[in-house]
Chains A and B, each alone.
Chain A
Amino acid sequence: MSDISVKPDLAIAMRGVTKIFGPDPEGALALLRAGKSKTEVQAETNHVVGLDNVSLDIAAGQIFVVMGLSGSGKSTLIRHVNRLIEPTAGEILVHGDDVLKMSLDQLRTYRRTKVAMVFQKFGLLPHRSVIDNVAYGLEVRGVGRKERLETAAKWIETVGLAGYEHSRTRQLSGGQQQRVGLARALSMDSDIILMDEAFSALDPLIRSGMQDQLITLQKSLNKTILFITHDFDEALKIGDRIAVLKDGALQQEGKPEDIVLRPANEHIEEFVREVNKARAIHVRSIMERGATEPCEQSVSMDARCEDVLPLFAEHQWVGVVDGEGQQIGRVTAKQVIKALARHTPGVG
């Protein structure tokens, strides 16, 4: 695996990353390479396969979502990016630098400046106030007190916790604590943000608001966000690309539509069955390309099926326009219905 050629706009590249938990990972690795499954390796050697030969290319400036059921290895994967976990095999490149070859000092500098992380279990410091928690990363980086508290206060406000600056973290609800963790990572202003189920403890309303905020934030600051979730709807809403993990192995990686329209296997189909496909599918991916007669009604190319469905009550077809208002294609009700119905069991 000496393929270090990395496209310049690639933020994170994982090459054949395998992680086996246990005292003798090499032995279990040999079994895994010989084609045994996670369950078989576990039964034979009592070693847990956390990740199984995962390769991912995560382009800079996008929200990349990793999806999977509980125990599929999502948290294990995200911890490899800032090397909280050492892989058993494989390579991890971040902006072209080999994370695994960094010395301890380089690794600390990398963690202080390049990546920030939001933890599934929050990981807040219970002996510090909310604002000191949010400022923690900046403090470690060596930012002066006044400046870091100002930044922290700004982000506390953004995540909707104004007024709680001087509370202790244990006095907050789970959702509030999660937002403290979020503010702590965002205040680092790092190029890469790792978010491990960062919205899982939030109520639906705040959650939806935070998702919108994250999308806006990503657009305005052009961050690379690696986002872990077990909620497919969330993945479809915020993800530029989605990867699905099962038993530590990558099942499929692609644009949200690819996954909804062309699920690679039964496991992913099961996910897709539950999801609101009208929200997942963009009109641009099913439209008829090319110029047509001028339309009475048009939608933007970023619109999703659920946005155009009501329009069909009045119109035979709807035009699709690009950012400049130029018509680039059209969709009909029939196309939309076909896309939504395609992979429904018993029909497709």
Chain B
Amino acid sequence: MFPQLIDTRPWRRAVDDGLNWVVRHWGGTFEAAAHPLLMLLKAIEDLLIATPWWLIIAVLTGIAWLATRRWPLPAVVFAALMFLGIMDLWKDAMTTMALMITATLAAILVSIPVGVWMSRSLRIRQIFAPILDLMQTLPSFVYLIPTVMIFGPGKIPAVIATIVYAAPPLVRLTDLGLRSVDPAVLEASRAFGTNPRQRLFGVQIPLALPTILAGINQTTMMALSMVVIASMIGAGGLGYQVLQGIGRLEVSRGLFAGLGIVALAIIFDRITQAFGRQLQARIGMQEAR
């Protein structure tokens, strides 16, 4: 046994008490701060559920067609959506999709500015890199519990936990994409008298867009991989079906709901990837250097 060098119980108590104090005094403030997130989630969810199923299929299949201009991807998307409908998973799938879209949107809103900031300063990168590592490797239950304590069980902690888990790759890839822009192009832009803002929006972001899109793709995938855990604290949706299947030892229910998550993953993965390829081809990176 490792000898007890110091008594760590006071530390633990301090952390627990601190959290309780935060919950008591700041719980309301946090909840109010997260309210817009809840509104966004509700709006997206209501919209997806209110939209007739055939319209959603038509829109997503259409997007898949726009992304590739060939038939295989729209066919896959169509089949995946039909599977969700036939298996009686439609409503749960929409709830899960809403959670994923909300988390992804919020992650984009936060990650891209942070990525931009990181790409500009070595110091900022040194500060954020370990935080991102922590966010990705810390078991999600660890931060799930405090979030539930602060916000109470429900959709908000589920969305927040999903964001925490899914945002890091987007931050990293935004930073990477911006930093790998050809310095010769940036220098030319500088030589024509551009200011930093013009270079960021006119050169760096457009050229980093394929990489940023790859980050968005990763974020959607990671958000989907969180849905089962998220449903433990009240996110509902396909994850909840999986949980129930496990709880009642109904293997079929868990299996089909699980396959439903896979179907959603395939849809969003393939569509975002196809857009990334399209963008890359437009910039002509494929035959680059």
Contact = CB atoms under 8 A, between A and B. Distances in A.
Judge: A and B partners, yes or no. yes
Interface of A: 82, 84, 107-113, 115-117, 119, 121-127, 136-137, 140-141, 168-171, 181, 188
B184 A122 contact: yes
Contacts of A136: 189, 192
B284 A117 contact: no
B285 interface: yes
Interface in B180-211: 184-185, 187-195, 198, 203, 206-207
A141 B203 CA distance: 16
B288 interface: yes
Interface of B: 184-185, 187-195, 198, 203, 206-207, 282-285, 287-288
B285 A117 contact: no
Nearest to B191: A117
A292 B280 CA distance: 72
Nearest to B279: A127
A126 B207 CA distance: 8
B131 to A, nearest CB: 28
A78 to B, nearest CB: 10
Contacts of B193: 107-113, 137, 140-141
Contact of B184 (A107, A116, A119, A140): A119
Nearest to B198: A140
Given A84-B190, A111-B190, A140-B192, 11 more contacts: A84-B187, A115-B191, A117-B188, A119-B187, A123-B184, A124-B185, A125-B203, A126-B185, A126-B288, A137-B192, A141-B193
Given A110-B193, A112-B192, A126-B285, A121 B184 contact: yes
Contact of A170 (B198, B203, B284): B284
B234 to A, nearest CB: 44
6 contacts: A84-B191, A110-B193, A115-B191, A121-B184, A127-B283, A170-B283
A123 B193 CA distance: 14
Contacts of A168: 282-284
Contacts of A123: 184-185, 187-189, 191
A119 B182 CA distance: 13
A7 B138 CA distance: 68
Nearest to A140: B192
Contacts of A84: 187, 190-191
B187 A171 contact: no
A136 B190 CA distance: 11
Between B188, B284, B287, the greatest number of chain A beta carbons within 10 A of the residue's beta carbon is seen for B188
